[in-house]
Amino acid sequence: MSMPAGRSATYEDLCRVPPHLIAQIIHGQLITLPRPAPRHALAASSLGDELTGPFQKGRGGGPGGWWILDEPELHLGADILVPDLAGWRRSRMPTLPETAFFALAPDWVCEVLSPSTAQMDRVDKLPIYASHGVTHAWLVDPEAKTLEVLSLHEGHWRLENAFKEADEVCAVPFEAVRFGLAALWP
């Protein structure tokens, strides 16, 4: 689904998208995508499971202090993005908003790459996250079985670490807990 030339998409346009699609507005363009494929969904769900217990709930010796959510709708200026996962430090966002979206940029985002979204996630969405002060981004590639850990430095993304296949992950901003990357793959 796309908008006529010369007209920027609006939130009302986004709300008219059928619920079986994920809708985003990137640089004024309405972008719709089907729900994630099984490998993509498994990687996102499994990563969320690894992080939510220790960082949101304080389980297993984890520090707590985070909200970690699946596919939140982020209103970042004129752009409306839906990362696969996002996290906010509770010190910045003590309570969840009453709206169906978040106007406060997260501290961390995770995009699970697929052949149809990798270019958009890297080239379009990462710069938007950077311009709104998201300080950490993870890129998970279920096909290559990799995780790239990025941190924002002086407005630009810097690769902090990369992990593959069954590596043990200990990475910012969640370095207080380790987990095996193999948990993300079938």
User: Domain residues of the chain, as ranges?
Assistant: 1-35, 36-184
Find the helix or strand (DSSP H, E) in which 92 lies. none
pLDDT at 61: 79
Closest listed residue to residue 45, CA positions, set 170, 148, 185: 185
User: For residues 135 and 122, what is the distance between their CA atoms, to the nearest angstrom?
Assistant: 15
Residues in the chain: 186
pLDDT at 70: 97
User: For residues 70 and 155, what is the distance between their CA atoms, to the nearest angstrom?
Assistant: 25
- All residue ranges of the chain with pLDDT < 70 are 1-5
How many CB atoms are located within 10 Å of the residue 144 CB? 11
pLDDT at 60: 84
User: For residues 47 and 83, what is the distance between their CA atoms, to the nearest angstrom?
Assistant: 13
Q: What are phi and psi of 61, to 5 degrees?
A: 85, 5
pLDDT at 1: 46
User: For residues 67 and 33, what is the distance between their CA atoms, to the nearest angstrom?
Assistant: 25
Q: Which residues pair with 110 in a beta bridge?
A: 85, 138
pLDDT at 7: 87
- For residue range 1-49, what is the model confidence (pLDDT) as tens digits? 454 557 899 999 999 999 999 999 999 999 999 999 999 999 999 999 9
Q: What are phi and psi of 51, to 5 degrees?
A: -95, -35
pTM score of the predicted model? 0.95
Superfamily of domain 36-184: tt1808, chain A (3.90.1570.10)
pLDDT at 107: 98
Token pair of 58 as six digits: 């304080």
